[in-house]
Amino acid sequence: MSNVTIYHNPACGTSRNTLELIRNSGTEPTVILYLETPPARDELQKLIADMGITVRALLRKNVEPYEQLGLASDTFSDGQLIDFMLQHPILINRPIVVTPLGTLLCRPSEMVLEILTDGQRGAFTKEDGEQVVDEQGKKIDK
């Protein structure tokens, strides 16, 4: 079993790039397709706590349920926001990656490099053509 887990949405470019950066380090992560298998409430709360972010910071805003449920309004408690995320997993921003070095919402995808235990094994270019890792496996600073 891998010591890296990604909460992944294969339809999301950022999520796909993050998964490939993990694989470029020589690690095959545990992939959780969270839209099909959403985390349980306690697991979601632990992920949020481990990331050190607010519940609202994990909310994905540019999806239909966000508008339909009126989530832009600041009238909901953290518990209510978590309820909405569990009922509509598309509201959970992604990808979330868990490694022995920490838990991060990897937006942009190269943030995953901060928590991988193994370095990159070669160059990596994102789907949009942006190179983020050079041939020596070093992150390219912009």
The reply to whether 12 belongs to the active site is: yes
Pairing between β-strand 124-125 and β-strand 102-105 as defined by DSSP bridges: unpaired
- 8 CB-near residues (< 8 Å, 6+ apart): 15, 18, 19, 31, 32, 33, 34, 94, 95
User: Residue 116 is encoded by which pair of tokens?
Assistant: 């991988």
Distance CA 63, CA 88 (A): 10
Beta bridge partners of 32: 7
Q: Quickly tell me which residue has 């999806």 as its tokens.
A: 63
Q: Is 102 left (phi over 0), alpha (psi -120 to 50) or beta?
A: left
Selected catalytic residue, list 4, 6, 8, 12: 12
User: Residue 40 is encoded by which pair of tokens?
Assistant: 């349980």
Residues designated as active site:
12
